Chain A
Amino acid sequence: MATEAEQSVEVLTSGAMAGIWEWTRSQIPAGTRIFDAHAHIGVDVDGRRMTADGMRSRMRAAGVERSIVFPLNDPNAREDFSEPNDVVWDAYERHPEFFVPFFRLNPHYPYEKEFERCVERGFAGLKLHPVSQDFELDDPPVLRLFELAAEAQLPVLIHAGFAMERVVEPLRRAFERAPDLRLIIGHAAMVELVEAARAFGDVPSVIFETSVVSAHDLYVLFNVISPEKVCYGSDIPYGDLPSTLHSTLAAARAAGLSDAEISGVLCGNIGRWLG
């Protein structure tokens, strides 16, 4: 009998999605080991949830090899996110070859202890969500956190998508404070995508991530930035693998990317950061 997760994948690749999925698969260059740079494991205050096993089944069904995973806006986060961070770590320990664990923090509260605990534990990066935790990217405690991350050589993935207004200007300040910061711009800076590409397109330690960004936004992105600066993401459970792979591939093909460039977007570009 099919598991719940297998059924979830089945409904995303059958019916009217069957032809879409077939086209999407046909556009993935041979030998590409897809790396999803944005996925969540845990529970959200809005009721959405994803388990480690659910994530693994979805990856297997869609042919995704590795995923960066981090907590949702968890109702059990309290001040330091330690509980949801533990859930992500457990998922990683059960599937170390498939998951790359990032931890999450709330800059409104003292974060030094949890930051240190997670770095010592071996988390590979940090996720920050300015909308859910209600802060600006250039608030003093956030700038300090960027500095700490840069010192620890820890990549930071920021939500820079839906409901974000200010992205570029506060990030300029972040780079003034922490020039070595390795930054994954989640959702490709959405409303400020062109300006962000202009500001950070040549910064080697910045990469734009594509999850749940419309194909026409991605078409523009691929035309204003080198494809090497872009990596694929799904934002599971808000996005899904088939429809986000479709938008990334359809936009990439429309923008005339080569197979090698597309392969980079799907795995090589983020793979170079995280080994």
Chain B
Amino acid sequence: MSGVSARLRTGHLLRLCRYLDMAIISMWASSGRAHRTLGMAQACAGETLPGGAEEETLGKVRELLAEAREFYRAGDFAPAMARMRVAADLCSLRIIELAGERR
């Protein structure tokens, strides 16, 4: 555990969850901005917390998002959406896990 509080970790992951949801919804709605919202989520996932906190979750989300974006660009919806779903699930379950931690 780095010295970063569970509250800060949670706050950061909530940001990422929100951007992931935006991207997922725009992909389902076939919005012309979907690739941009995907880019927003990717940018947020690319940030690092002090001390490298939450890198285990963030690293997985980054990989999933990079591939999701490629599939989406190629018009391959199902593999893109599968990766978005998993990224969002990893993020939200980690937040739930952190809710039980005091630091």
Query: Are A and B physically bound partners?
Result: yes
Q: Is the CB of B88 within 8 A of A214?
A: yes
Closest residue of B by beta carbon distance from A251:
B93
Given contacts A240-B78, A240-B82, contact A16 B60 (CB under 8 A): yes
* Nearest CB of chain A from residue B90's CB, rounded to whole Å: 8
Given the complex, which residues of A lie within 8 Å of B97, measured CB to CB? 254
In the complex, A12 has a CB within 8 A of chain B:
yes
Which of B2-10, B35-43, B47-55, B62-70 participates in binding chain A? B62-70
How far apart sit A214 and B60, CA to CA, in the bound complex (Å)? 17
Given the complex, which residues of A lie within 8 Å of B88, measured CB to CB? 214-215
Given the complex, which residues of B lie within 8 Å of A243, measured CB to CB? 81-83, 85-86
In the complex, B96 has a CB within 8 A of chain A:
yes
Given the complex, which residues of B lie within 8 Å of A216, measured CB to CB? 89, 92-93, 95-96
Question: Which applies to chain B's interface (DSSP): helix, strand, loop or mixed?
Answer: helix
Q: Is the CB of B64 within 8 A of A247?
A: no
Chain A residues within 8 Å of B, Cβ to Cβ: 8, 11-12, 15-17, 19-20, 212, 214-216, 219, 237, 239-240, 242-244, 246-247, 250-251, 254
Q: Is the CB of B89 within 8 A of A16?
A: no
In the complex, B11 has a CB within 8 A of chain A:
no
Query: How many residues on chain B are close to A (CB under 8 Å)?
Result: 22
Chain B residues within 8 Å of A, Cβ to Cβ: 60, 63-64, 66-67, 71, 76, 78-79, 81-83, 85-86, 88-90, 92-93, 95-97
**Residue of B79, B81, B86 touching A20 (CB-CB under 8 A):** B86
* Nearest CB of chain A from residue B13's CB, rounded to whole Å: 12
Given the complex, which residues of A lie within 8 Å of B64, measured CB to CB? 16-17, 20
Given contacts A219-B96, A254-B93, A254-B97, contact A17 B86 (CB under 8 A): yes
**Residue of B63, B83, B96 touching A254 (CB-CB under 8 A):** B96
Given contacts A216-B92, A251-B93, contact A17 B83 (CB under 8 A): yes
* Nearest CB of chain B from residue A262's CB, rounded to whole Å: 15
Question: Which applies to chain A's interface (DSSP): helix, strand, loop or mixed?
Answer: helix
* Nearest CB of chain B from residue A31's CB, rounded to whole Å: 26
* Nearest CB of chain B from residue A269's CB, rounded to whole Å: 22
Given contacts A11-B76, A12-B79, contact A250 B89 (CB under 8 A): yes
Closest residue of A by beta carbon distance from B64:
A16
Q: Is the CB of B60 within 8 A of A17?
A: no
Given the complex, which residues of A lie within 8 Å of B93, measured CB to CB? 215-216, 219, 250-251, 254
